[in-house]
């Protein structure tokens, strides 16, 4: 029996997913040890990636390979901007943008121009991640930053309580139903692995900035 795309994506990214879960940045997040400035930096760097992805998915909403992926309820760029205003003020856009975040956003826009049929890989990496592990992360961030009332946590909010599971189901269905040739499925899997790799670079860059901010100035 032919393996469906969703299963192939999950299998191919299992190792890199486990690796990212162990990344120092994720461990600080899960350990409730994220400071507000570090979390602002994290969100600030995710923002252009979502903005690029959401513009790309909206632009290609009628593309036969992407019709199931433009789910406005999934969109996170505005929610992230809302959290950033609340957590670090109107000037959030002047926080450091890492080269890896810029490169990721640029790569998504280039895909939209040249290979829109591969954008679904990035919808998988970000959105299914947000709808799965994101729920765990929400609790840890809320605890670390004292955000129990939900203000500053729009990134993890999908409306009605059941919306997250419904959206995850819709995304999974869209991925399973995608009319892909074997070749295209392989390319989508490779693109998803690249998406995870880009997250590793981003997390490394963010950890580097935190370490630099903490080390005493030389001379």
- Does residue 108 touch ligand HEM according to CB under 6 A? no
Residue 30 vs 178, nearer CB to ligand HEM? 30
- Is 115 in a helix, a strand, or coil? coil
Among 111, 196, 205, 210, binds ligand HEM (CB under 6 A): 196
Here the tokens at position 126 are 């970000």
Residue 148 to residue 22: CA distance in whole angstroms: 26
CB contact burial 12-24 (16+ within 10 A = b; e otherwise): bbeebbeebeebe
Here the tokens at position 32 are 């409730």
Among 24, 58, 136, 177, binds ligand HEM (CB under 6 A): 136
- Does residue 26 touch ligand HEM according to CB under 6 A? yes
Residue 6 to residue 1: CA distance in whole angstroms: 14
- Does residue 129 touch ligand HEM according to CB under 6 A? yes
- Does residue 92 touch ligand HEM according to CB under 6 A? no
Number of residues near ligand HEM (by CB under 6 A): 18
- Does residue 199 touch ligand HEM according to CB under 6 A? yes
Among 37, 68, 116, 133, binds ligand HEM (CB under 6 A): 133
| Closest among 84, 83, 112, 79 to 97, alpha carbons compared | 84
Residue 25 to residue 78: CA distance in whole angstroms: 23
Residue 56 vs 217, nearer CB to ligand HEM? 56
Radius of gyration of the chain (CA): 17
- Does residue 141 touch ligand HEM according to CB under 6 A? no
* x/- letters, 29..68, toward ligand HEM (CB under 6 A): xx--------------------------------------
CB of 68 to ligand HEM, least distance (A): 15
């Amino acid at each position: 029996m032919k393996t469906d795309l969703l299963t192939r994506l999950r299998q191919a990214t299992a190792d890199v997913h486990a690796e990212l879960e162990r990344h120092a940045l994720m461990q600080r997040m899960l350990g409730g040890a994220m400071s507000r400035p570090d979390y602002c930096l994290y969100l600030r760097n995710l923002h252009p990636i979502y903005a690029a992805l959401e513009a790309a998915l909206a632009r290609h909403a009628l593309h036969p390979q992407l019709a199931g992926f433009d789910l406005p309820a999934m969109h996170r760029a505005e929610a992230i901007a809302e959290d950033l205003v609340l957590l670090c003020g109107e000037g959030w856009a002047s926080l450091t943008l890492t080269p890896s975040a810029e490169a990721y956003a640029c790569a998504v826009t280039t895909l939209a121009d040249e290979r829109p049929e591969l954008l679904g890989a990035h919808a998988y990496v970000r959105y299914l991640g947000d709808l799965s592990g994101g729920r765990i992360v929400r609790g840890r961030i809320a605890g670390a930053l004292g955000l129990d009332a939900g203000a500053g946590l729009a990134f993890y909010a999908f409306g009605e309580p059941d919306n997250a599971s419904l959206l995850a189901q819709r995304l999974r269905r869209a991925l399973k139903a995608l009319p892909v040739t074997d070749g295209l499925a392989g390319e989508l899997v490779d693109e998803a692995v690249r998406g995870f790799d880009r997250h590793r670079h981003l997390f490394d860059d963010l950890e580097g900035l935190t370490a630099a901010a903490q080390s005493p100035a030389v001379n």
